[in-house]
Structure 1
Amino acid sequence: MALKDMWIPTDFRSVFPKGVLLLGEIEAQAEFSEDRNAPKRHALDFDRDGNGSGKRLWKATIMDRAGGRANQAGFDITFVADVMPTPSAEEVMEGLTPIELEGLLLKPRVVGNGQFKSIGFLIRATGIKGDNSGAKINQPAASKAA
């Protein structure tokens, strides 16, 4: 069934109407290796069959400002971009930065154990709105002053 590997594109404000906060920093996602002594390699966007964009993967934790229960407010997110996305907004508190995700993709999955299972989501994005780090592909070239 093809639906199990399908990422669903969606609008940021539909999923997070009050926005999200970035908790801490965005970090490079390391490729899994069974050898603990092997050097860490940056994970790339390829599945087991070799399909994917080939872009680098970056990981972060976000918090939904709409609230809810504590176990439903925090999410791990993966950014798929050649360059690490950088928030343009200032921190509102140490380690808390408001961001708006671009290119948001969701993939449903079953979470929990035993009789306490529910539907959760894997979350991916291509960047952060207002980012000037070069992570965005289709950003216009900066014009030089005369």
Structure 2
Amino acid sequence: MAFKRGTRFPVSHAEAFPKGLILQGQIEPLIKYNPDRNAVPEQRRDYDPKTNEGTQLLMWRATVTDPDETKSKRASFDMIFLADVVPVPSTPEVLPGMRQIELDGLVAEPKVMGQGEFKYLGYQFYAGGIKGDNSGVRNVTAERKAA
């Protein structure tokens, strides 16, 4: 059995991050690359026009840290949120700019990571929102299927 490239698998927050997850800083829009520096920045959507797949939701980026990860290079990474509005964490700050969060609608996409002969199998995580958030974000990541 073969999986198509870009296949995402639902996973529970407790399975992926047994010791929790720490949000560092703010959640910001994921901006499309444009070589023209004077162009108006445009936020990316979860859609691939070549394959006509994706949820078509806006993409938001946040830097998170996994306290369970033993390798320092893999402990912090970018989490991508797929939502119409920016998710807002409801937990208090543990340290300035750091909050413990629990994710809603978490999915994982296997990816080859690393460079040269030091490649390894890693995962890009996507979340629909943050538990306890009452900003209007719904858990639609798991509900919406790629077209």
Q: What TM-score comes out, normalization by structure 1 length?
A: 0.88
Map 1:1-146 to 2 at 5 A: 2-49=3-50, 50-136=52-138
1:92-122 Cα shifts (integer Å, max 9, x gaps):
0011100001111111111111211111111
Structure whose alpha-carbon radius of gyration is higher: 1
Question: Higher mean Cα deviation, 42-51 or 73-82?
Answer: 42-51
Q: For residue 55 of structure 1, report the CA deviation from its aligned partner.
A: 1.2
Separation in 2, partners of 1:22, 1:114: 30
Equivalent-residue separation in structure 2 for 1:105 and 1:76 (angstroms): 14
- Structure 2 equivalent of residue 143 of structure 1: none
Counterparts of 2:19 and 2:106, CA distance in 1: 15
Unaligned runs of 5+ in 1: 139-146
Identity among equivalent positions (%) equals 39
- Residue type of the partner of 1:69? K
Cα deviation, 1:19-66, whole Å, max 9, x if unaligned, reads: 000011100111222222211011111113332222111000110122
Task: State the Cα RMSD in Å.
Answer: 1.5
CA contact (8 A) 2:90 2:132 kept: yes
- Using the size of structure 2 for normalisation, the TM-score is 0.87
The number of equivalent residue pairs is: 138
Is the alpha carbon distance of 1:114 and 1:67 closer, same or farther for their aligned partners in structure 2, counting shifts above 3 Å? Answer: closer
Unaligned runs of 5+ in 2: 141-147
| Counterpart-to-counterpart distance in 2, 1:81 and 1:62 | 17
